[in-house]
Amino acid sequence: YHNNGDGTFTKLTEGHIVNDSTNSRGGSWGDYDNDGDLDLFVTNRNHDAQFDPPEL
């Protein structure tokens, strides 16, 4: 889900997170881009490392 910033959320139906059918095995929260908001990084089993920095 995408936080719309007004108290509502929109279900994501496409993109890297939705299209990756592997099993998630771990996650970490941190402020990657120093904008004051927490960012989520999720790791998957048997999958090459991929990281796409957040874009607005």
pLDDT confidence of residue 18: 55
pLDDT confidence of residue 38: 87
pLDDT confidence of residue 1: 78
Kindly give the residue spans of alpha helices, DSSP state H, lying in 1-56.
16-19
List per-residue pLDDT tens for the chain, 56 residues long.
778 889 899 887 776 665 566 677 788 899 888 889 888 887 777 666 666 666 65
pLDDT confidence of residue 50: 64
pLDDT confidence of residue 42: 77
